[in-house]
Amino acid sequence: MKKNWLEMISGQNQIQTIMKSNEYTKQFGLILTEKDAEVLALGRQNALKEQQRVEFGQGIMPKLIFEFCDSAFIDQSHYVDILLQLQDIFYLYKNEVMDEITDDELMHFMKEQFETTCYGDLDYLSGTCLEIFAQAIRAGYQGEQDFDLIPKWDRELYMEALKNLFGE
């Protein structure tokens, strides 16, 4: 199959940009190989096609890398897979919020929920937190009030329920 020259050039630029992120992320024990960067660049092309989006410039991946690299829920062994999933989730929900919020606003909300409500669970992030958020955005939510519709896990309440179930 013949490759589109524009995709080839943009893919090479994407790979170089992703590789430069290692300078920052190595302090968190996260390093991407050139093969990893190629996988992420290809993932971008696939995600954009799937979501029927067009994107110019370096794409969202470098921003995702810098936003999420300090997460307690990301380690080297799952780094590339998590980045691919975050990228897919980002583009999906960029459509779901009908581009009513900026890339940075969506990304910051994703990170906040990933760390505090989801405890690193990408399925919960995508299927619950972002779904509720997207519904709120489509309904007119504009950030004037705190957005906390999703109950957070409460350790003390959990321990109390265990004691009630099993005694001490």
pLDDT tens across 116-132, in order? 999 999 999 999 999 99
Using 50, 70 and 90 to split pLDDT, how confident is the model at 16? very high
Q: Rounded CA gap, 168 and 93, in Å?
A: 45
Structure token digits, residue 96: 């779901």
Indicate if the pLDDT at residue 96 is higher than 80.
yes
Using 50, 70 and 90 to split pLDDT, how confident is the model at 153? low
pLDDT at 105: 94
Hey, what amino acid is at 145?
A: Q
pLDDT at 48: 86
Domain positions in the chain are 5-166
Radius of gyration over every alpha carbon of the chain, rounded to an integer in angstroms: 18
pLDDT at 158: 65
pLDDT at 47: 87
Average predicted confidence (pLDDT) for the chain: 86
The CA-CA-CA angle for residues 96, 101, 106, to 5°, reads: 75
Indicate if the pLDDT at residue 61 is higher than 70.
yes
Least reliable range by pLDDT among 24-28, 85-89, 128-132, 146-150? 146-150
pLDDT at 149: 52
